[in-house]
Amino acid sequence: MNVTSPAPTLPSPRGRISAAIIGYLRGAGPLPDGRALSAATPLGDDLQLALYICYELHYRGFTDVDAGREWDPDLLRVRAALEQPFLKTLRDEASAHAHADEALDELLVEPVDGSGVSHFLRDEGELWQVREYAAQRSLYHLKEADPHAWVLPRLWGRAKAGMAAVEFDEFGGGRADRVHARLFADLMAGLDLDTTYGHWLDATGAEALATVNLMSLFGLHRALRGALVGHFATVEITSSPGSRRLAQAMRRTGAGPAAEHFYDEHVEADAVHEQIVRREVVAGLLEEEPHLDGDIAFGVDATTYLEDRLAERLLGAWRAGESSLRMPV
């Protein structure tokens, strides 16, 4: 199992922008010009892969790419140009609530029709679909909790203490074998999937890339700290019931004990985390910075919007008997 691999290799390009950035990082060409940047589809494969590559330089980077590229000023200017249409699209399409409490309360209402991915996998999913779901989610779960750690130095008081408490659990409570990224790697190994960090990048569609890019976007910008807290709250509030259904899916499909354990762990842990996030992190942040109310709501709405888009891709493919991945497992 190779989850400890220090850095992945650069992926294959998906268009002019990602090709130019990959070439630039290899020292083989210029960065994309303004015409290419302005023509990109905000939620499309090319822009989302390009953003993912830029953001990954702040995580483990890439093999044979100099670590100093993380703060390359020309590359940062291109990244900013990519972030603008992504963020604008989310503000235009996903902003449904003006206040954090309204957005968070809505998350507590389970859909009547039970039409989500976790419902599908629990009720009718097959093992190949469980494996695809794990591959799609690996881009986040193998760095689970890392994007949210960026907000810690930007909080104080109750919000910081509550956030640190939840992150401590996510990172295994001081035990390497209980780090959630480690548990997900165990899940993947049990499903006979390659656990190398970043291995499934080429196979993952734009919808899944966007869900990971959202966390990096919010985490890397202090001005978006409220949105990151909203994202974090959304994940913790929705995780426990969804994980319960996914644990049932793992048992029904015979995914193995490591897969069952990963989701069982999230059922228990995230039920507690939900209370800490709402009562300490969100309430504490609003107590200190009430003007961030709308930003927290935006973080909730943007997260829900992108998760719904990913669900549509997965379920649309699976119900047609097709793979949801760009390259089937």
Q: What is the pLDDT of residues 140-158, one digit of tens each?
A: 999 989 999 999 999 999 9
Mean pLDDT of 13-32: 96
**What is the average per-residue pLDDT within 68-78?**
97
**Nearest partner of 21 among 68, 63, 82, 67, judged by Cα:** 82
Tell me the average pLDDT across 111-126. Answer: 87
Give the burial class of 83: count Cβ atoms within 10 A of its Cβ; 0-12 exposed, 13-18 middle, 19 or more buried.
buried
**pLDDT for 109 beyond 80:** no
Cβ atoms of 307 and 314 within 8 Å: the answer is no
Averaged over 258-286, what is the pLDDT? 90
- Opening angle at CA 205, ends 40 and 113, nearest 5: 115
Question: Which residues contact residue 79 at a Cβ distance below 8 angstroms, ignoring those fewer than 6 apart?
Answer: 51, 54, 55
pLDDT at 239: 87
**Average pLDDT of 55-68?**
96
Estimate to the nearest angstrom the gap between the alpha carbon of 161 and the chain centroid: 23
> What mean pLDDT is reported for the chain?
94
Place of tokens 């097709």: 322
How long, in residues, is the chain? 329
Q: How confident is the model at residue 87 (pLDDT cuts 50, 70, 90)?
A: very high
pLDDT of residue 111: 61
- 127 touches 255 (CB < 8 A): yes
Q: How high is the pLDDT of residue 5?
A: 59
* Share above pLDDT 90 across residues of the chain, in percent, rounded to a whole number: 88
Domains of the chain: residue spans and CATH = 16-92 (no CATH), 99-319 (1.20.910.10)
